[in-house]
A and B are shown apart, each in its own frame.
Chain A
Amino acid sequence: MRRIVADYPLVITALLLSAFGIAMVYSAGQTDTPTAVARVYKSQLMWLFFGMAGAYGISRSSVRFIEWVTVPAYVLSILLLAATLVIGAGAGTAASTKSWLAIGGVRIGQPSELAKLTVVLMLAHLLASRKDAPKSLLDLWQPAIIVLIPFIIIMLQPDLGTAIVFIGIFFGMLYWSGVPWPLLMLLGSPVVSLILSFSTGMWGAWFLVLLALILYYRPYLVEGIILLAANIATGVVAPILWEKLAPYQQNRLKVFLDPSADPRASGYHVIQSKIAIGSGGVTGQGFTLGTQKRLAFLPEQHTDFIFAVLGEELGFLGVTVALTLFLVLFLRITQISGRANDSFSSLVAFGLLASWFVHVLVNVGMTLNLMPITGIPLPFFSYGGSFMLACWLAVGVLMRISGEGRGKAAFKAS
């Protein structure tokens, strides 16, 4: 194993985000009526150290080793996910779902966190093994299955937010592997059809756009028919799916459109979150001093809505610093992908980027009601041991990839 030079921009940015995040978790615990949240920063700190140790370990291993464990790890994560359906437990905002694995009543983690990682690895493994990027929809059945298995299990838990992350990973990695834009759009069309089916007029318009796209891209006849059939099918099943959604999920979607529709219950979260962020102003109310948080108006202040605490206490300046750190991290990962030594490494790096990007976009967007409330945590910030560990293991993978990658040049086509 060769010794590598640590990727300082990556590690330092991740460390800064973690330190910032733990400071916010600490602040989130500082309420007028003390709760158990007051102590969680300590365990978060502990998980950070575990995570950093794990990252160091991974950075000392090899990308080949990682690729070697990919398939067993993927299978293991699917098995664990499946187990949640039988013996899963709920927690936090998603108390009614079964996303946790518990042994003897002690929750030991969310298998979906592991699955995010293994799906990235598995997809990278599969796409890297191909000679060319998938050029037709039929070519995509393998990657689709890799994502669909965990996706369906997670939808059954049900955990809508995490499921969205898998879609992000899927599209992100297909894009990076060179799948052309129009194909991605056609692939995504049934989802659009699903959303637009609530308005007949909108759905009709979408169908015309879709026809135009198909004519422009000219897929195989079978594909074209499957596509149209899929769009019609999702349009038809959408209302049925809506009925199948748990009431809290229906409410979350309704509230996304109009928070005042249910100001005391589902809308409460997002209203209070917006008030917290808005009242922070430019410089914020001061670290640990946010009143929305301190007086318990802000729900889930240490997990889903930790960014609202940041906005309230550190203001627009704090928000700018946090988002800039994320941007720096993401740009760095983009560079790592770009100059990775091989296509597997490159795809893994980009998959991790896609995953984190969706997390940040949905979580931060949710605090301002730009996104529906889905309970996706904010990387490095939201309290949660397995998530912090997973984030740092990912950092470790990225460190390794970065170390194995070459200077500024891109690698040769494999």
Chain B
Amino acid sequence: MSFHPNDIARRTRITSVGLAVGFVLLLSAFFRAQVLQSESYQRQSEENRLREIPLPAPRGIIYDRKGQIIAENLPAYSVSITAPSLDSLRHSLSQLQQTLQLSDYDINAAIRRYNRAPTRPTVVLADASIDVVSVLEEHRIDYPRLIIQSVPKRFYPEGSIVASFVGYTGEISEKELNLEEFAGYKPGQTIGKGGLEKQYESVLRGQEGQRFDEVDARGRPVTGAGPRPDKDPVGAPSMKTNIDLDLQKYAAAIFTDSLQFSGGLIAIDPKTGGVLTLYSHPSFDSNRFTGGIPAAYWKELQEDPRRPLFNKVIQGTYPPASTWKLATAAMGLELGLVQMNQRMPLPCTGGFQYGRRYFRCWKTTGHGSLTLAGAVTHSCNVYFYQLGLKIGLSKLVGGGIDMGFDTRSGIDLPNEYRPRFPTRDVREYFNRRFGANWSNAETLSMAIGQGPNSQTLANLTKFYTALANEGVASTPEVVSKKPEQKKIMNLTKEQYAGLRLAMAGVTTAGGTAASANIQGLVIAGKTGTAQNPPNKDHAWFIGFAPAEDPKIVVGVFLEYGEHGYFAARVASKIIGRYLGFTGEATVNLEGQ
């Protein structure tokens, strides 16, 4: 042993220094963790024990023009579970099974929600009934991780009546979460999925709040407030629309009660473009979409051949047929090729020979010789064939483009379809479409609204606002705002008046929609029958009233409606209701 005092002293010194160095090293590691990085660890500690419970904000209430409620929020109860792992969630769900009747669909939906956002409470029932909630409250102690929350639930008092324009809400999907448009959204949040709810999502959304619950390592809530205060949700401001809810209800009632047709209807204030009514039939119940569409209902909607989810007003595009004759007439007048009282060289004998083809008029016995006014009133094809030839194909197409027939109406609703219409380079367009062998007979088709021309009801009705409003077309707007208007034709006052008078003839004795007449009110309008071989023809009517100072433009489209006058009668009822003419007869579908 070397225990010489000097050796001992040296080893004591070395040991002391070694201990001091170890002490300093250890302490410096604690200094780093507790002083330098403390903030990060404090945050992690809070993340450990504070569970953020989102508090959904109520969406903005949607009113009609008179302040009646279209969409509101009702208090509902959502039941959710916080789970540290998928296994734990499955376990909790199977425990819940003992108290609740959960379908496989509910369970799968909950598991999907968990996978999307494991840190947020997983919603099990988005809209639990008060019975379920009271049962759960009784068993509260058995389900420590259950969160029962009062949440605002979207409700549409008129349900399917307003669904065509208001749309619906739903949980944001994984796909949507990845879109730039939804940056800042979190899984599980509700968004507008269609109609106004989608179009004005940013306005209607509101600001989600948060509550912080303190939980232990097993996720069980404990008493004691966290250092972070709760943040209350902020509801979105309400939104006023141009919709006339009474008229909307009336329109829906006509379709549901007395028509067997599917179709669409839009009523616009021609001065402002304000949409008074927009209804597509058959409709769907937006309320059933809230908090997840029941699978059976979704299937039912998908399988209905009348396509309830397909909006006939802004998505259905059909040949405008005779309703387009007004565009041909307006172009002829504007180009000075025709006057209101001017007749065409050939009278109508039920048809028109062009080249080697014979083009029929719808009236096989012929209209005889008509003025432009008469041709509009009686919708004479032969007159418009000749007028079309006078204008020429490229001007017919160019004029149509100027009138907006190749663009969407611009209504403030999502997913509007684009009309089909030739491009300005007519030759190139028809070559591409029909090959080089197309003949000038296309001009005849175009002139009477046939050929490569398909329009939505919304866009066609927009064109009629110009006829009602001295050439100024108003973009249809569901939500009140500054009207967006554009002059699309330049006629004289007399010419506008002449066209209106001719259209007024449509709904009077001898016109194509004489049965749509209302005693004491002049309705100007135009019927159309879109050929739809091999099925039944579609029926159009677009009109406005009073003819001398139009306050409402109504477009009606009936799928397989066969005759324009069916549509005209629907329009006339809407007009009568809106303008306060209550004496009209019920819609009579038998004969003219």
Contact of A414 among B3, B16, B217 (CB under 8 A): B3
Known contacts being A297-B217, A338-B12, is A277 close to B3, with CB within 8 Å?
no
A277-B11 Cα distance, complex, nearest whole Å? 34
A229 interface hit (Cβ, 8 Å): no
- A292:B48 contact, CB within 8 angstroms: yes
B353 interface hit (Cβ, 8 Å): no
B215 interface hit (Cβ, 8 Å): yes
- A291:B11 contact, CB within 8 angstroms: no
Q: How far, in Å, is A280 (CB) from chain B's closest CB?
A: 6
A335 interface hit (Cβ, 8 Å): yes
A221 interface hit (Cβ, 8 Å): no
Known contacts being A279-B45, A295-B216, is A413 close to B27, with CB within 8 Å?
no
- B30:A292 contact, CB within 8 angstroms: no
Q: Which residues of B contact A274 (CB under 8 A)?
A: 33, 41
- Closest residue of chain B to A271 (Cβ to Cβ) is B44
Q: Which residues of B contact A58 (CB under 8 A)?
A: none
B4 interface hit (Cβ, 8 Å): yes
- Closest residue of chain A to B217 (Cβ to Cβ) is A296
A277-B34 Cα distance, complex, nearest whole Å? 6
Known contacts being A279-B44, A292-B48, A338-B9, is A346 close to B3, with CB within 8 Å?
yes
B74 interface hit (Cβ, 8 Å): no
Interface centre among B5, B215, B220 (most CB of A within 10 A): B5
Q: Enumerate B25-41 residues with CB–CB distance to A below 8 Å.
A: 26-27, 29-31, 33-35, 37-38, 40-41
- A331:B19 contact, CB within 8 angstroms: yes
Q: Enumerate B196-246 residues with CB–CB distance to A below 8 Å.
A: 214-218, 220, 222
Contact of B30 among A319, A353, A361 (CB under 8 A): A319
- B2:A132 contact, CB within 8 angstroms: yes
A412-B31 Cα distance, complex, nearest whole Å? 43
Q: How far, in Å, is B547 (CB) from chain A's closest CB?
A: 77
Contact of A133 among B1, B22, B23, B34 (CB under 8 A): B1
- Closest residue of chain A to B1 (Cβ to Cβ) is A343
Q: Enumerate A95-114 residues with CB–CB distance to B below 8 Å.
A: none
Known contacts being A278-B33, A281-B34, A368-B33, is A178 close to B41, with CB within 8 Å?
no
A337 interface hit (Cβ, 8 Å): yes
- Interface segment among A123-131, A182-190, A210-218: the answer is A123-131
- A414:B1 contact, CB within 8 angstroms: yes
Q: Which residues of B contact A334 (CB under 8 A)?
A: 12, 15-16, 19
Q: How far, in Å, is B65 (CB) from chain A's closest CB?
A: 55
Contact of A315 among B11, B12, B34 (CB under 8 A): B34
A50 interface hit (Cβ, 8 Å): no
Contact with B along A339-375 (1 / 0, CB 8 A): 0000100100010010001000100110010100000
B7 interface hit (Cβ, 8 Å): yes
- B11:A176 contact, CB within 8 angstroms: yes
A282 interface hit (Cβ, 8 Å): yes
- Closest residue of chain A to B216 (Cβ to Cβ) is A295
- B8:A127 contact, CB within 8 angstroms: no
Q: How far, in Å, is A332 (CB) from chain B's closest CB?
A: 10
Q: Which residues of A contact B45 (CB under 8 A)?
A: 275-276, 278-279, 291-292
A334-B29 Cα distance, complex, nearest whole Å? 24
A19 interface hit (Cβ, 8 Å): no
- Closest residue of chain B to A370 (Cβ to Cβ) is B29
A32 interface hit (Cβ, 8 Å): yes
A176-B15 Cα distance, complex, nearest whole Å? 9
Q: Which residues of B contact A282 (CB under 8 A)?
A: 34-35, 38
Q: Enumerate A128-170 residues with CB–CB distance to B below 8 Å.
A: 128, 130-133
A330 interface hit (Cβ, 8 Å): yes
- A128:B216 contact, CB within 8 angstroms: no
B42 interface hit (Cβ, 8 Å): yes
Q: Which residues of A contact B27 (CB under 8 A)?
A: 319-320, 323
B20 interface hit (Cβ, 8 Å): yes
A155-B28 Cα distance, complex, nearest whole Å? 32
B154 interface hit (Cβ, 8 Å): no
B49 interface hit (Cβ, 8 Å): yes
Q: Enumerate A231-282 residues with CB–CB distance to B below 8 Å.
A: 264, 272, 274-282
- Closest residue of chain A to B19 (Cβ to Cβ) is A330
- Closest residue of chain B to A335 (Cβ to Cβ) is B12
- B30:A311 contact, CB within 8 angstroms: yes
A33-B9 Cα distance, complex, nearest whole Å? 53
Known contacts being A275-B48, A320-B27, A323-B23, is A331 close to B5, with CB within 8 Å?
no
A355-B26 Cα distance, complex, nearest whole Å? 17
A12-B489 Cα distance, complex, nearest whole Å? 105
A175-B14 Cα distance, complex, nearest whole Å? 11
A109-B1 Cα distance, complex, nearest whole Å? 35
Interface centre among B22, B34, B35, B217 (most CB of A within 10 A): B34
- A327:B1 contact, CB within 8 angstroms: no
Contact of A409 among B5, B11, B12, B40 (CB under 8 A): B5
- A281:B26 contact, CB within 8 angstroms: no
Q: Which residues of A contact B2 (CB under 8 A)?
A: 132-133, 177-178, 413
A410 interface hit (Cβ, 8 Å): yes
A131-B3 Cα distance, complex, nearest whole Å? 10
Contact of A32 among B4, B22, B222 (CB under 8 A): B222
- Closest residue of chain B to A280 (Cβ to Cβ) is B34
Known contacts being A276-B45, A296-B217, A338-B8, is A413 close to B3, with CB within 8 Å?
yes
- B41:A279 contact, CB within 8 angstroms: yes
- A316:B31 contact, CB within 8 angstroms: yes
Contact of A281 among B16, B42, B48, B218 (CB under 8 A): B42
Known contacts being A315-B34, A368-B30, A414-B1, is A278 close to B49, with CB within 8 Å?
no
A20 interface hit (Cβ, 8 Å): no
Q: How far, in Å, is A300 (CB) from chain B's closest CB?
A: 13
- A413:B216 contact, CB within 8 angstroms: no
- B11:A319 contact, CB within 8 angstroms: no
A411 interface hit (Cβ, 8 Å): yes
Contact of B34 among A128, A176, A316, A413 (CB under 8 A): A316
Q: How far, in Å, is B25 (CB) from chain A's closest CB?
A: 9
Give me the interface of B with A, judged by CB distance under 8 Å.
1-5, 7-9, 11-12, 15-16, 19-20, 22-23, 26-27, 29-31, 33-35, 37-38, 40-42, 44-45, 48-49, 85, 214-218, 220, 222
Q: A132-B2, A282-B38, A297-B49 are in contact. List 13 more A-B contacts (CB 8 A).
A: A128-B1, A132-B1, A177-B2, A275-B41, A278-B41, A281-B42, A316-B35, A319-B34, A334-B12, A338-B8, A412-B5, A413-B1, A413-B3
Q: List 26 A-B contacts (CB under 8 A).
A: A33-B220, A130-B1, A131-B1, A132-B2, A175-B11, A178-B2, A272-B48, A275-B48, A278-B33, A278-B40, A278-B42, A279-B44, A281-B38, A291-B45, A292-B45, A295-B216, A296-B217, A311-B33, A334-B12, A353-B15, A364-B26, A365-B26, A368-B29, A368-B33, A412-B5, A413-B2
Give me the interface of A with B, judged by CB distance under 8 Å.
32-33, 127-128, 130-133, 175-178, 264, 272, 274-282, 291-292, 295-297, 311, 315-316, 319-320, 323-324, 326-327, 330-331, 334-335, 337-338, 343, 346, 350, 353, 357, 361, 364-365, 368, 370, 409-414
